[in-house]
Every structure is written in C-alpha cells, then in structure tokens.
Amino acid sequence: MSSQRLKYLNLTELSDVQVQQYRDAVSVAFPKIIQSSKVIKNNWGYIEDHFPKHQLYLIGADDNLIGFMNTVPIHYDQSLDQLPNEGWDWLVHKSISDHKLNKAPNTLGGLQVIITKKNQRKGYSKFLIAEAKNMMQKNGYEKFVIPIRPTLKQNYPDMSMVDYLHLKNENKIYDPWIRTHVDSNAKVISICHKSMNIKGDIKFWENLMNQKIKHSGYHQVSGALNPVYIHLDSNKGEYYEENIWIAYE
C-alpha cells in the first residue's frame, strides 16, 4: 500500500459517484438496530450540512472511495473522566448545540470510521485515525474523543463491557477496534453505558429479531452489543448500547 497514491477529501470535494459510494458503505457497515437510531435520522443531515470539513474521505488512485471518518467539533472543558454516560448520542447533540450557540470548538469528536468491504484488513483505518489526529492539530483542538463501538463485542452480548475490555488473546487486546486505537496511542477513559438509545414497540423489535416475542425481559437482538429489555404489557422495548470513551491528547 502506497500512501502517496491516496487522497484525503472532505464532503464538499467528493464527486457524485463518491458520495453514492459513501452512502452505500454506511448502509452495509452497521446492523439494522443501529441504522434505526432516531438520533442518526434526525441529526445526520445537520452534521453533513454544517461540518463538511470534519468529514474525512480516503480516496484511492482509481478515484474510488476506500473509507471515511465522520467527526464533529465540540467545546469541551471538563476533565476526560467526566465524559458523559450518553456517549455517542451526547456527542451528536453537543456538536449541534455548540454550533447553534456559536461556541468556539476546542475538541474533535469521532462518530464513526468505515472502510469499504473490499478494502478492509489492509491497515486503512490506521491511516484515517492518523489523518484525524492531524486534523485535530491543524484546527488547534486540544483533544480528540471517541465513544468507540468495539467491533467483535456483538459476538459476546452477555459479557459485561468491563470484562470484554480486558479480554486478551495471546497477550494482545482481544477486540481489534479497541486494540487499533490503543496501538495508535489513545487512552481508554470509561465505559459509556447509555451511548446509543434505541426504542420501539413490539412490532419494531419483532421485525428486527425476525421472530415473535413471547415474554418480557432481556432479549438478544442481532448486531446488538448487549441485550435489549422488552416489556410486552407496555408494548415497548428499549436498547442502551454500551460504548467505550477513548481519547487522544
């Protein structure tokens, strides 16, 4: 892989074909439960419209999209251990409210990294993380914080996130996404237990689970990192996705 043949563009610089490649990659990168987030549906347009320069796209020599990182600027002056439990949803709302209040940003917030399927496992995510750190420095931001979604946690929905965080394989951090950030010099800060909130009625959950729900209680839902509580009598189910706050300084 030659880094000289790669280009970094922001959202305003993409061709129509590249924008379509971006949209297609988003639609296959995450499970349906995540794609159902109302926070995404209600706010992603604002992020693209108002923070185009914080959306970083990695383009190959053939002009096709390899991957991207979506970030937002925020103003954050508390200590890192105060980063809120509502992780990802908070970061989206914070960037928008700071922007509306004209608060000068001092921190970069990471929302997602996606590498297109055929380009995965070639080291590109590390390129993007390095480029986002450059963006942080160029903008004079003090920190880069990300509520990360460990990529293999969905295979261990019953394991607590604390236990999962400490899982090792041959002395290396087990989860590749946590490991990638730690190897890039990120500090693990805390677990955000309510990072994404997804709610719906029984029909919504039955549709996601592709089966009839017969009892109230915790249920496994495909792609979820931890179980979902479903209450038949009140016709609702609620998922709180746990993520992990990490930070670069």
Here's the x/- map for ligand COA, 173-212, by CB under 6 A: it reads as ---xx-xx--x-----------------------------
Residue 126 makes contact with ligand COA by CB under 6 A: yes
Find out whether 156 and 89 touch, Cβ atoms under 8 Å. no
The verdict on 39 binding ligand COA (CB under 6 A) reads no
Task: Considering the complex, state which of residue 209 and residue 225 has its C-beta at the smaller distance from ligand COA.
Answer: 225
| 121 near ligand COA, judged by CB under 6 A | yes
Q: Is 21 a residue that touches ligand COA (CB under 6 A)? A: no
Rounded distance, CA 70 to CA 55, Å? 5
Distance CA 33, CA 205 (A): 9
User: What gap in Å lies between CA 207 and CA 192, rounded to an integer?
Assistant: 27
By CB under 6 A, is residue 149 in contact with ligand COA? yes
What is the Cα 182 distance to its own chain's centre? 16
* Segment holding 148, helix H or strand E: strand 143-148
Q: Can you tell me which of 57, 76, 124, 164 binds ligand COA, judged by CB under 6 A?
A: 124
243 binds ligand COA per the rule CB under 6 A: no
124 vs 240 by CB, closer to ligand COA = 124
97, amino acid identity:
S
Helices (H), the chain: 16-29, 32-35, 38-50, 87-100, 124-138, 161-165, 176-183, 202-209
User: One-letter amino acid identity for 23?
Assistant: R
151 binds ligand COA (CB under 6 A): yes
64 binds ligand COA (CB under 6 A): no
Told to check if 122 binds ligand COA by CB under 6 A, we report: yes
Interacting residues with ligand COA (CB under 6 A):
29, 112-115, 120-126, 149, 151, 176-177, 179-180, 183
